[in-house]
């Protein structure tokens, strides 16, 4: 599984994109007091808070399909009317 990725915007301009560690390194060099900073997780689109603790990466949701999630295939033939 690859590392989690995120993208940071300062106002309407994208200022950093990549792994959380790379984005954090790029954001440290910017003057963040002059504008509004938004950071989004690339996989989920969820906004994440910055600064995050060292080594932070949000948990990615797992898409496990269970037997209960799979719809039953329709029966072939005439339907039972239950009269």
Beta strands in the chain (DSSP E): 5-10, 13-19, 37-41, 47-48
Residue 68, helix vs strand vs coil: helix
Domain ranges of the chain: 5-69
Q: pTM of the full predicted structure?
A: 0.62
Q: 19-56 pLDDT, tens per residue? A: 988 998 999 888 777 668 899 999 999 998 888 776 67
Residue 60 — very low, low, confident or very high, per pLDDT cuts 50/70/90? low
- When the pLDDT of each residue in the chain is averaged and rounded to a whole number, the result is 79
| pLDDT for 14 | 94
**Whole-number CA gyration radius for the chain:** 22
| pLDDT for 1 | 45
């Amino acid at each position: 599984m690859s590392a989690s990725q995120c993208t940071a915007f300062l106002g309407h301009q994208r200022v950093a994109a990549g792994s959380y560690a790379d984005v954090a390194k790029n954001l440290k060099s910017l003057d963040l007091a002059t504008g509004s900073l938004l950071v989004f997780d690339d996989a989920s689109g969820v906004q994440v808070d910055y600064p995050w603790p060292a080594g932070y990466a949000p948990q990615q949701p797992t898409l496990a399909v269970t037997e209960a999630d799979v719809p039953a295939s329709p029966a072939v033939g005439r339907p039972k009317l239950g009269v």
